[in-house]
Structure 1
Amino acid sequence: MKHVPALDSLRGIAVLLVVFHHFKWLGIGWIGVQIFFVLSGFLITSILWEQKDRRLRHYLGRFYWRRILRIFPVYYGFLFAVSLAYLSVGEPVAFGDLAPWLFSYTYNFARFFEPEMTWRYFGHLWSLAIEEQFYLVWPFVVYWVSKRSFLRLCIALVMLAPLFRWTAGLYFLAHDYPPVRLAQCVYTLPTTHLDAFAVGAALSVMDSRKLPSPRSVFLGVFIALTLLGFYQWGLLDPHSRVASDFGYPIYLS
C-alpha cells in the first residue's frame, strides 16, 4: 500500500485528542481511540487485500511477520524495561499480577477479573491489545470472503456492534458490576469496537471512482459527526447504558 500523507495527519489528530483526554483538557478526547481503530481497519484491510492472491501460508506469513517487526520490538522492549525496574526496586507490587496480561496482549481483559488490576503506566496498552486481537482474526476474514460479501459483512458488523455492547452491558449488570466498572469493561471488549474497524475496512475496498473527492467526503463527514458527537456528549451520561451501547463509537464509526 502506498503512503498516504493525509492519514498521517489524521493519526496526529487522534494522538492529540487522546493526550488531551488523559490530561483532562478535553472530555471527548477518547474519540481519538476510535479514529485509531477506523484507521487500523482501513490500513490493515488494504494491506491484506493486496496480498489476497497469494497462497494462505505466504499470505499469513508475510502479514504476521511484518506486524511482529513493527510492534513487538517496541512493545516488549517497554515491558522488559519495566520488568527490570520492578525487579530492582520491587515496585509497583501490582506488576507481578499484571505481567501475564501484558505479555499475552490480553490486558484489555484484566479489569474483568480484578477491578484494581490496573496501573497508570500501562493504561494505554488496552487498545493495543484489541488491535492485536483484531490482527488474529481479520486476515482470515479478508482471505475467505469475496469483495461483494465483504462489504455486506462490514455493514452487518456496524449494525450488530451496538447489540454486542448492549448484550455485554446486560451481562455485567446481571453480575452486579458497579456503573463505572461496567462501562469500562464494556468499552475494553474487542467486540465493542467492531463497527469502528468495519467502517475503516469497508472504506478500503470501496471503488474510489464512484465516490466524491476525498476532501469533500472528509469535510462533510467531519462536520456532521462532530455535531452528532457533541449532541450525544451533551445529552447522554457517559456511564449510562445508552451511551455505552450507542455513544462510544458513534463519532467515527
Structure 2
Amino acid sequence: MTGLVFTRGGQPLPPLADRPPAVAAPRGRERRPRLYALDGIRLLAALMVAAHHYAGTRRVNQPGNLIWDRPVSDIMPTVFSVSAYGWIGVEIFFVISGFVICMSCWGRTPRQFFVSRVIRLYPAYWFAVLFTTAALAALPGVWPRLPLRDVLLNLTMLQSGQGVMNVDGVYWTLWSELRFYLLFLVVVWMGLTYRRVVIFCCVWGAAAMLAPVAKLPLLALIADPEAAWYFIAGLALYLMHRFGQDLLLWGILGMAWLMGQKEIGARIDEVEHVGSWRGAVLIFTVFLAVMIAVALGYTDRIQWRWLVTAGSLTYPLYLMHYAAGTAVINRLHDTMDPRLLLATVLTGFLLLSWAVYRFVERPLAGAVKRGLDGAFTRLRKE
C-alpha cells in the first residue's frame, strides 16, 4: 500500500500525517447535507423488528401461544418465514447509532453531547413507559404487570443495571445504547478526531473480544461484547463518510462484520431459535453494503423530505409496538384476517408514533433542553 486514502469522489489524498489540520481533524459544526437515506433505513429497521415480534418469533409459532393462539406458520407461512429474520433490525439500529452519534456530536462539548442524548432519549421513552403500563392494565393476560415501584424505576432507563424487569422487553437495547454513550463521552471530552475515534474503536473492540474469556463481570458490563462491534462498524462508516476511505477503516469494518456474523449465529442459537445463520448474515451483509453506499456518498441524491418524518417515527414506534401491540393482537386475532390485522396494528402504531413525536417528544424535548441548559449555566457560574 502507498498510504494513500481516497475521498468519496475517488481522488487520492496524502497520508493523514501530511494533511492540513483542517482535513485531518475538522472542527466545528459546519453544515453538511442531510443523509435522508438513513431516515428511511431506520424506519425500515423498526418495521422489521415490529413484524418479527408480531409474526416471526419462536413464541408466536408455538401451539396455543397467548398472541395468536396457534402457530403463525400455520396461519401465515410466508409472513412467518420473512418475519423470522426481522430481529436483525436491532443490529441495524446499533450500526446506525454508531454512525449518527459520531456525526451529531462532532465538534460538540461533553455538555452538549449529554443534553442532546437526554432530550433525544427520554421524552418519548417516558411516554412509552406510561403508555405500555396503561395498555397492559387495560389488556391483561399476555404480559405480566410489574409492581408500581418497578414501573417507576423504569422511568430512569437504568432498570437493567438494578436487575429490574423492563416494562416492555424491547427496552433491553437501551441499556446497550447507554453504555455506548458513556464510553464515547470520554472521546467527546477529549475532542473528536480521526485518530482518537480509531483508537477508541480498536481499544473497545479488543475489550469486547477479551470479555467472554476473561470471566470478569465488570469488563463484560463495560465492553458489551454482544453489541460493541455493531457500534464500532457505525463509527468506522462515519469516519469513511467524513475523511474518506482507507485500509485501516476497511479493516475495522471487516473485523466488525466477522465478529458480527459470529454474534448473529449465537443469537439464533441461544435467543431467537428461528431463521438460519446464512439468511441472517446475508441480510446483515446487504445492510452493511447499503451503509457503505451511504458513507461514500452514493445515496446523496436521495432528497425525499418525507423521509425526515419517517425517521422521526422510528424511536416511538420501537418503544411502543411490542407489548401493547401483541396484547391488541391477542384480543382481535379472531375478528379479522390475520394479514389485515397485522397491517392495521402496524398502521395504528405508526400513527400513534407520529402523534407522540409531534405532541410529546418535540415540546417536551424543548422544555428539558431549556431546563438543562439553565442548570449547566448555573453550575458554571457558581
**TM beyond 0.5:** yes
**Equivalent of 1:74, from 124, 128, 136?**
124
Tell me what 1:38 maps to. 95
What code does the residue aligned with 1:32 have? G
1:98 equivalent to 2:150? Answer: yes
Per-residue CA shift, 1:29-78, capped at 9, x if unaligned? 22211111111111111122232xxxxxxx12222222232322211122
Q: Distance in 1 between matches of 2:166 and 2:103?
A: 34
1:28 equivalent to 2:85? Answer: yes
Shift in Å at residue 125 of structure 1?
1.2
Tell me what 2:231 maps to. 197
Q: 1:101 to 1:27 in 2, by over 3 A?
A: farther
Structure 1 or 2, whichever has the larger Rg, is 2
73-82 vs 85-94, which deviates more? 85-94
What code does the residue aligned with 1:72 have? Y
Provide structure 1 residue ranges, at least 5 long, that are not aligned to the other structure. Answer: 52-58, 172-185, 241-246
1:132 equivalent to 2:178? Answer: yes
Q: SS of 1:211's equivalent?
A: coil
Q: Distance in 1 between matches of 2:230 and 2:101?
A: 13
TM-score normalised by length of structure 2 = 0.43
Q: Distance in 1 between matches of 2:268 and 2:171?
A: 25
Q: Higher helix share goes to which structure?
A: 1
Per-residue CA shift, 1:142-185, capped at 9, x if unaligned? 332642142133134334424324556x97xxxxxxxxxxxxxx
Q: 1:28 to 1:98 in 2, by over 3 A?
A: farther
Q: 1:165 to 1:21 in 2, by over 3 A?
A: farther
Q: Distance in 2 between matches of 1:80 and 1:136?
A: 26
Q: 1:82 to 1:162 in 2, by over 3 A?
A: same
Provide structure 2 residue ranges, at least 5 long, that are not aligned to the other structure. Answer: 1-31, 57-79, 272-277, 289-382
Percent identity between the two aligned chains: 25
Q: Distance in 2 between matches of 1:90 and 1:14?
A: 28
Q: 1:84 to 1:34 in 2, by over 3 A?
A: closer
1:152 equivalent to 2:186? Answer: no
Shift in Å at residue 208 of structure 1?
5.2
Q: 1:133 to 1:100 in 2, by over 3 A?
A: farther
Q: 1:2 to 1:60 in 2, by over 3 A?
A: farther
**Equivalent of 1:64, from 86, 111, 114?**
114
Per-residue CA shift, 1:182-231, capped at 9, x if unaligned? xxxx99x844211111121122223656439xxxx9xxx9xxx7xx959x
TM-score normalised by length of structure 1 = 0.61
* Conserved? CA contact 1:162–1:192, under 8 Å: no
Per-residue CA shift, 1:2-32, capped at 9, x if unaligned? 4211111221231132123212133332221
Q: Distance in 1 between matches of 2:147 and 2:133?
A: 8
Q: Distance in 2 between matches of 1:147 and 1:207?
A: 11
Q: Distance in 1 between matches of 2:119 and 2:267?
A: 42
